[in-house]
Amino acid sequence: MKHNDVDIIHIATKECAKQSRVHAQLTYKKNSIFFSKSRLSIISFRLIFSLIKNDRVTLVFHQHWMLPLLISTYLISKFFNLKNLKFVYDIHDIFELNENSAWWRPIAVKIYNPLEAIAFRLKITFITVSQGLSNHYSKIFGRVPLVVHSIPQFSRDDIPTGRVLGDPLRIVYFGQIKEERMPVEALKYLVEKNCCCDLYGYFSKNSSSDWQNQILNLVRKSGGQYHGRYSPDNLNFLKCYDFSLMIFPSDRVNIRCCLPNKLFQSLLAGVPCIISDNLFEVRSLFGETGYTVTLDQFGENHHLEKRINLTQRLLEIKDQSVENFDLAVSGEYFNGTAQRDRNLKLP
């Protein structure tokens, strides 16, 4: 691995590389590369040998799957006295059990959660996706992860304006398709409102065939289609739609305080989002723009006459995220207790 001209190496699984969060952070710094590892990676001799040659690098480890590699690389760096090497751990979500957990997940939770506790004792910097998750971890470990939202660099002119809604309204759901993110009742409600609903993405391996059939039947009934997988590098298809669907009926902190990648992807394309009532942080950040509505609000007034300040709000979030990311990768931010106010405040 050659990185003489590289300042930041992002380390994650191939699956994670397909997510827009990593893509967004790659737009923050020109001298950045991506290094793919499997979920079972415990040590990378290729990475270590490269760092011994040049340790003036910041390593950003993404998701809990990279915790074993993070800890082993950190300890080895101390053994070889790599003083210039800096570490960042990006917490994408809380690693926990959910309503449809696979059989192996309880075992993984028992392994990775203690590893996360060990990581919080090391001299590394932590970042995460939302204010709610930052607060969650600061209460547990006494250290405040910086909030870096999953939003890429963009300019004011990149966001489309003057959208004219279609008739019938076209609704899109894109991303991983799983039962906790696609309630049959919500889709049925939209079909009954004569909306045309399209799906992009792939069905979770843990979803039942009965549920999949119900979803696909409703999509066909609406006059829509299931388009399959898409590339995160090409989201031009979003501009064809009137609304993006994000209904996550769960009361877990992971859900209530989530700011999904697809939220920023939709809003940057100028597409408003239909969200569930429990998405507290989404509503707090974007409720006043008129670009996020619940199913009830959608039923009452789906024309969204009060679409205001979306571009300004997105620019504020992007600028704060870039500033926090710069602070994290510079190695200047460690303890966190004295800089809690750097995180974007919820209105």
Per-residue pLDDT of 123-136, as tens digits, reads 999 999 999 999 99
Phi first, then psi: give them for residue 319, nearest 5 degrees. Answer: -65, -40
Place of tokens 């100028």: 270
pLDDT single digits (tens) 290-331: 899 998 887 655 555 545 588 999 999 999 999 999 999 998
Check if the beta carbon of residue 171 is closer than 8 Å to that of residue 195: yes
- Mean per-residue pLDDT of the chain: 88
Percent over 70 (pLDDT), the chain? 90
Beta carbons within 8 Å of 330's beta carbon, 6+ residues apart? 58, 86
**340 falls in which pLDDT band (50, 70, 90)?**
very low
pLDDT single digits (tens) 28-48: 988 888 888 888 889 899 999
- Domains of the chain with CATH codes: 8-153+318-338 (3.40.50), 157-310 (3.40.50.2000)
Residue 65 has pLDDT above 90, yes or no: yes
The pTM of the full predicted model, rounded to 2 decimals, is: 0.89
Check if the beta carbon of residue 289 is closer than 8 Å to that of residue 310: yes
Average pLDDT over residues 261-283: 93
